[in-house]
A and B are shown apart, each in its own frame.
Chain A
């Protein structure tokens, strides 16, 4: 091989490797965690600048006034990598805390776009910080000056190092993707509120994904700058981020192989393919401009014809077939619930199975003087009631009475303006995931699923404190989390069988019918082994056959020691299974008692018959 060809191959290898790291990082942030970060290239630039500052030495040594920047050291190249990676993590944390935590979808995109542009303009305009638009140069390639290695020799070694990084990065990215950590991230991406209701700490998990993505970006940037030797703002202008998104969209988001393919096709493919086009005219700007035009058209074409990319996120089928083990003792139809909890970081079941004298008398949940207003609408006003341990308590009232708001407040999804909610003697926080960890499960008025997860995966989001939900266990101990989730999987299958949707286990939840989604939601809530189950209109939009089956399930749930609080409009079921019944009207708790008492209550009758007009 000629020397020129070898040099060219090395250049392509390094260019691919750096972009592969960057696209994999974006995949973690966007593909898995669903964060639209249009300031992504700022993270790449962070790595580039830090690696440059680490090795070029102080500005004063380069001649007074010629270049100006802060810092500048002579550190070994591998320490420069550490600094770059750490810097990427810090900047990613800052972007997350400032904008990602507070903004969603459109506004998040606009906010991050603005942040990226602000960084670009300020660093370019401020010549004393990082030498402005000129940037830093003279970054030596690692291994430079090692005896016995020619210029050619050490770039070969460097290319090998870059590839080693890609392999390591792909390994990390893949392990994270397939683990419970990745599953939780995908759940958050699909449906943030429901993920929180399943006990996922949305802010924290998203921050972790952003940080790991930031490290990938910074390392990609650092290696790239070490190869080409200089960095300036022109290299990380806003549209560069779009190239990363283009790579991910073309390759296929949500999986490591798609990210790698995208990196090979878009940044590398386009630069290299256009290199061989004949020069058009005398204008040197034409070729790069045409390249941008092509990338823009490619992006539009892919989003139209194949929005999922060439290698789309695949269905996760970790478990091939249901394990039909006979259920010990209970036989078929028994609820596989009420066992001691596995895993860690989970509050003990609040006396769930210890039915007895105590269980029949004391309150599991106490709502005390809770109020909530939305603008001028007082949805809940000074409401107080208790839910007895082991009971099926109904919360009824006309439309607009504040029932769903009340359920949201108990579940921690809605922050009350005043008052408190106490579970088993300890106040519940106004944070959905922490309430879930206190063993409060819930269903929603309109079924909420994770549409791009399979039914079985939907179930597997629910277990609390899973092994492999952390970054380190998911990366380093796949056997351990696989073993740990085996028991949960068995329970998931049993619950799916119980609700008669086990044949749909490997179907995407998005494809389920309304009734099936309702059943899935029930099963998922039970998978979390709740002590208290909040049901928001379980019978709404359900056919009579399914309704009677759900009714039996609710009774069975209560018989296993799970306390139920349900909002319901269907009075037949309330009369048959609920006791006591709490009545709300216009934000206030009107009265409570047995269904028969309630039916005789004049206030209740006038509330339901529109007596509010002359009350």
Chain B
């Protein structure tokens, strides 16, 4: 294979992986720690992208400041969603299926509200003209480099939190066994809120970089991307943030490289086929240790 042809796609794959990592880790943490399969996650990312667009373009604020503000805002929005919508259903002992359908419905509501407000035309951020950077045969715009940097910083921050803070240990404990964690004195409602908050931050930042990477986005930005996120999260093993990171890199690179042999339009389908195969062959993901069921 000609390296000169492969490297640009590999480069693009790394960008995709960075975007994907944020979504996959957020989705995976929510699923593992709170037990909620959040099918609205992709549309939350779209909401974040539109909110950033409003602040950036309509209110004329610098794009990076807009993104930072909205990312923080999405954290609180996510907690509000958990308290206002998910918690009441859990109090009524709604099952996994009901919660799944509810988040799906919520995603549909988000997407179509955006459609009503902004119409189906495409939007883009007000960013400076991109400059290209060559690196080991990979071609990046400076914005793509920022996307990679944001992805790496987010993952490193998460790593330090999970490994070296009490909150992180508590979260990992909850991911294994919620009743036991509660019995050990962990304030599980607070941890649940915090998990939703972190997932919201990741949806906020992830939505922004996804939109930035797509350059022009519409209300369905996060809809199909959700399935790519789920693919990476399941590949990494549900509830395993590090697995989700690995899954994101694999799915990101494989889908980007698939354009060498398949039509570019089939990228998402490639991610979904990975998902189906993982579910059938190794439903607990690549990082699950042997004997753990």
Contacts and interface: CB of A to CB of B under 8 A. Distances in A.
Contacts of A303: 89, 94, 98, 101-102
Nearest to B120: A285
A98 interface: yes
Grouping DSSP codes into helix (H, G, I), strand (E, B) and loop, the A interface class, with mixed when no group exceeds half, is: helix
Interface string A111-128: 101110110011001000
Interface string B100-113: 11101110110111
Nearest to A113: B227
Given A121-B272, A285-B120, A239 B283 contact: no
A595 to B, nearest CB: 37
A283 interface: yes
B106 A300 contact: yes
A299 B112 CA distance: 15
Interface stretch (B135-143, B169-177, B250-258, B274-282): B274-282
Q: Is the interface of B mostly helix, strand, loop or mixed?
A: helix
Contacts of A576: none
Given A105-B96, A242-B105, A293-B112, A375 B292 contact: yes
Contact of A114 (B108, B115, B276, B292): B276
Given A114-B227, A376-B291, A297 B109 contact: yes
Interface in A356-377: 374-376
A290 B112 contact: yes
B116 A103 contact: no
A374 B279 contact: no
Interface stretch (B69-77, B146-154, B159-167, B260-268): B260-268
A114 B231 contact: yes
B111 to A, nearest CB: 8
B33 interface: no
Contacts of A422: none
Contact of A107 (B97, B101, B283): B283
B24 interface: no
Contacts of A440: none
A98 B269 CA distance: 17
Contacts of A121: 224, 265-266, 268-269, 272
A573 B273 CA distance: 56
B85 A300 contact: yes
B126 to A, nearest CB: 24
A107 B97 CA distance: 11
A290 B116 contact: yes
A99 B112 contact: no
A110 interface: yes
Contact of A105 (B85, B88, B97, B115): B97
A477 interface: no
Interface string A296-316: 110110011001000000000
A245 interface: yes
Contact of A283 (B102, B119, B269, B272): B119
A125 B108 contact: no
A296 B111 CA distance: 11
A285 B115 CA distance: 8
Nearest to A105: B96
A321 interface: no
Q: Taking each of A103, A110, A111, A121, which has the highest tally of chain B beta carbons within 10 Å of its own beta carbon?
A: A110
A494 B12 CA distance: 72
A110 B103 CA distance: 13
B224 A117 contact: yes
B37 interface: yes
A295 B105 CA distance: 8
Contacts of A526: none
Contacts of A122: 266, 269
A98 B280 contact: yes
Interface string B56-91: 000000000000000000000000000001001100
Given A109-B37, A375-B292, A117 B227 contact: yes
A109 B100 contact: yes
A249 B102 CA distance: 12
Interface string A81-113: 000000000000000001100110111011101
Given A105-B96, A113-B227, A296-B106, A245 B272 contact: no
A545 B272 CA distance: 58
A303 B89 CA distance: 8
B230 interface: yes
Contacts of B89: 303-304
Contacts of B119: 283, 285
B134 interface: no
Interface string A214-242: 00000000000000000000000001001
A505 interface: no
Nearest to A243: B108
Nearest to B98: A303
A118 B228 CA distance: 11
Contacts of A292: 108-109, 111-112
B78 to A, nearest CB: 17
Contacts of B94: 303, 307
Interface in A237-271: 239, 242, 245-246, 249
Nearest to A374: B291
A374 B113 CA distance: 50
A104 B116 CA distance: 37
A347 interface: no
Contact of B279 (A36, A110, A249, A293): A110
B102 A300 contact: yes
A207 to B, nearest CB: 17
Nearest to B227: A117
A289 interface: yes
A304 B85 CA distance: 10
A304 B290 contact: no
B92 interface: yes
Nearest to B39: A113
Given A115-B276, A293-B112, A110 B234 contact: yes
A115 B119 CA distance: 29
A327 interface: no
Contacts of A105: 96-97
Contacts of A286: 115-116
B275 A114 contact: yes
A299 B231 contact: no
Contacts of B293: 374-375
A375 B113 CA distance: 49
A148 B54 CA distance: 61
Nearest to B89: A304
Contacts of B97: 36, 105, 109
Contacts of B231: 114
A242 B108 contact: yes
Given A110-B234, A303-B94, A296 B108 contact: yes
A125 B269 CA distance: 10
Contacts of A115: 272, 276
Contacts of B265: 121, 125
A375 B92 contact: no
B106 A114 contact: no
Contacts of B120: 285
A107 B235 CA distance: 12
B98 A307 contact: yes
Interface in A115-160: 115, 117-118, 121-122, 125
Given A103-B283, A117-B227, A296-B109, A289 B115 contact: yes
B227 A296 contact: no
Contacts of A299: 101-102, 105
Contacts of A102: 279-280
3 closest Cβ pairs, A-B complex: A375-B291, A296-B109, A296-B105
Given A99-B276, A103-B280, A299-B102, 10 more contacts: A103-B279, A109-B97, A111-B279, A242-B101, A286-B116, A292-B112, A307-B92, A375-B291, A375-B292, A376-B291
17 contacts: A102-B279, A106-B100, A111-B279, A113-B227, A114-B230, A114-B272, A117-B224, A117-B268, A117-B272, A118-B272, A242-B104, A242-B108, A283-B119, A299-B101, A303-B94, A374-B291, A376-B291
